[in-house]
């Protein structure tokens, strides 16, 4: 029993597999037009295309980076999917957080090896994979998801990517505030409809200096999250932003931006927890006339 555990442990911790392709693994097949297909390898299986089938047995046992040819003569390059490829092609219940935003969250929230992280909600598990990669075997990710069907899909996707249950992950079905408890945490990542409703509860468990990061889709959510953090008083001045990715086409002298672009997907709001009882010095700002209404008495 010891040999299989030792063999699979690195994959479970990192999601990275090395060596020949195996049955039960997911691979990405790419044709000469850069069209990609996600395929789960199975002994005796076939991937059917308009140019004929590709035999799974032609790939199983071969090194990564192998080219398989369909019956019709079309060549397909086989590679194990990277995390960013996996998250955009995996089965989903809820909308996934795109790789560009997941990478920004990992950096902005400063997710480090050994960190104790709270995530809500789990969605389809895309961001969870990034968080587990970042905290490593010594960290802990506690994910909360209200919907059982979303939680089941998230567990399936995370287990498939890591090759089994990740020892650093705890997934709970239910609301964050009702199930949070009093265990201290280092980082909080919120991907939910109303993150402002959790600020007070999270302030009680987030360590001083810890980071709260909220991913929201609309400017209305952005504004309410920022104002709630300001009014709560136990956090630094919130910072808000978005990430845009523009790919480039480069072929000979034809170097130009590609026509497709991953534009707006969501906003990130981040703030750091202050020490208990401490209030940050008020930041002077000059809001536009009418921005806060006639009853606003804050700093100007």
Dist. CA 231–CA 29, nearest whole Å: 51
- Our count of domains for the chain comes to 2
Whether residues 23 and 126 share a domain: the answer is no
CA 170 to chain centre: 16
User: What pLDDT is recorded for position 12?
Assistant: 65
CA-based nearest residue to 249, from 30, 36, 34: 34
Whether residues 127 and 22 share a domain: the answer is no
Whether residues 73 and 193 share a domain: the answer is no
In a domain, 4, yes or no: no
Per-residue pLDDT tens digits for 35-57: 899 899 999 999 998 889 999 99
Per-residue pLDDT tens digits for 210-253: 999 999 999 999 999 999 999 999 999 999 999 999 999 999 99
Among the candidates 79, 106, 127, a domain finishes at 79
Mean pLDDT (whole number) for 195-209: 96
Sheet containing 116-120: order of strands: 169-173, 140-145, 116-120, 185-190, 206-216, 267-272, 239-241
289 vs 62, more confident:
62
Whether residues 72 and 185 share a domain: the answer is no
Whether residues 66 and 122 share a domain: the answer is no
Whether residues 51 and 200 share a domain: the answer is no
- For the chain, how far is it from start to end, CA to CA, in angstroms? 67
The CB-based long-range contact list for 96-100 (8 Å cut-off, 24+ gap) reads 96/123, 96/124, 96/126, 96/127, 97/123, 97/126, 97/127, 97/191, 97/215, 97/265, 97/266, 98/262, 98/265, 100/243, 100/244, 100/245, 100/262, 100/265
Q: Are 224 and 214 in contact (CB under 8 A)?
A: no
The CB-based long-range contact list for 64-72 (8 Å cut-off, 24+ gap) reads 64/20, 64/21, 66/21, 68/29
Q: Which two tokens stand for residue 249?
A: 């086409």
How many residues are listed for the chain in this entry? 300
Helix/strand/coil for 157: helix
- Please name every residue paired with 172 in a beta bridge, in sequence order, or none if there are none: 144
Q: Which residues are annotated as a binding site for S-adenosyl-L-methionine?
A: 124-127, 145, 191
In a domain, 186, yes or no: yes
C-alpha distances in Å from residue 158, one per residue of 48, 123, 171, 262: 27, 11, 11, 24
CA-based nearest residue to 169, from 28, 282, 13, 56: 13
CA-based nearest residue to 54, from 67, 37, 71, 35: 71
Whether residues 73 and 91 share a domain: the answer is no
CA-based nearest residue to 117, from 126, 104, 130: 130
Burial class (CB in 10 A: 0-12, 13-18, 19+), 266: buried
User: What pLDDT is recorded for position 113?
Assistant: 96
Average pLDDT, the chain: 89
Mean pLDDT (whole number) for 190-194: 95
Which residue range forms the structural domain that includes residue 40? 18-79
Dist. CA 182–CA 180, nearest whole Å: 7
Helix/strand/coil for 28: strand
User: What pLDDT is recorded for position 285?
Assistant: 66
Per-residue pLDDT tens digits for 254-266: 999 988 888 889 9
* pLDDT above 70 for 88: yes
In a domain, 5, yes or no: no
Could you tell me the pLDDT band of residue 282, with boundaries at 50, 70 and 90? confident
Per-residue pLDDT tens digits for 49-86: 888 999 999 999 999 999 999 999 999 999 999 999 99
Nearest 10 degrees: Cα torsion 118, 120, 126, 132: 10
Could you tell me what percent of the chain has a pLDDT over 70?
90
pTM for the model: 0.85
Could you tell me the pLDDT band of residue 4, with boundaries at 50, 70 and 90? very low
* pLDDT above 90 for 288: no
Whether residues 89 and 56 share a domain: the answer is no
Q: Which residues are annotated as a binding site?
A: 124-127, 145, 191
Residue with tokens 């030792």: 6
Whether residues 97 and 34 share a domain: the answer is no
Whether residues 30 and 161 share a domain: the answer is no
Q: For residue 71, what is the domain's CATH number?
A: 3.10.330.20
Whether residues 255 and 151 share a domain: the answer is yes
Mean pLDDT (whole number) for 142-161: 94
Dist. CA 266–CA 189, nearest whole Å: 14
Whether residues 44 and 93 share a domain: the answer is no
Could you tell me the pLDDT band of residue 135, with boundaries at 50, 70 and 90? very high
Q: How many CB atoms lie within 10 A of CB 299?
A: 11
């Amino acid at each position: 029993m010891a040999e299989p555990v030792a063999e699979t442990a690195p994959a479970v911790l990192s999601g990275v597999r090395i060596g020949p392709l195996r049955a039960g693994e997911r691979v990405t097949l790419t044709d000469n037009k850069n069209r990609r297909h996600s395929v789960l390898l199975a002994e005796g299986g076939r991937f059917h295309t308009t140019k004929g089938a590709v035999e799974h047995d032609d790939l199983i046992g071969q090194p990564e980076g192998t080219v398989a040819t369909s019956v019709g003569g079309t060549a397909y390059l086989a590679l194990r999917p990277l995390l960013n490829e996996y998250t955009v092609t995996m089965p989903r219940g809820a909308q996934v957080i795109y790789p560009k935003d997941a990478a920004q969250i990992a950096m902005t929230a400063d997710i480090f090896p050994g960190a104790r992280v709270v995530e809500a909600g789990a969605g389809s598990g895309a961001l969870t994979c990034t968080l587990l990669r970042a905290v490593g075997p010594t960290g802990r990710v506690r994910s909360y998801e209200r919907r059982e069907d979303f939680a089941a899909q998230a567990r399936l996707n995370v287990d498939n990517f890591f090759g089994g249950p990740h020892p650093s992950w705890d997934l709970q079905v239910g609301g964050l505030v009702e199930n949070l408890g009093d265990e201290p945490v280092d980082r909080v990542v919120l991907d939910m409809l109303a993150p402002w409703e959790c600020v007070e509860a999270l302030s009680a468990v987030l360590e001083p200096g810890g980071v709260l990061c909220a991913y929201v889709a609309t400017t209305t959510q952005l504004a309410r999250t920022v104002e709630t953090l300001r009014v709560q008083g136990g956090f630094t001045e919130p910072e808000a932003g978005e990430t845009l990715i523009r790919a480039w086409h480069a072929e000979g002298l034809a170097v130009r931006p590609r026509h497709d672009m991953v534009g707006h997907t969501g906003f990130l709001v981040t703030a750091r927890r202050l020490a208990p009882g401490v209030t940050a010095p008020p930041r002077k700002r000059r809001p536009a006339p009418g921005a806060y209404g006639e009853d606003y008495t804050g700093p100007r």
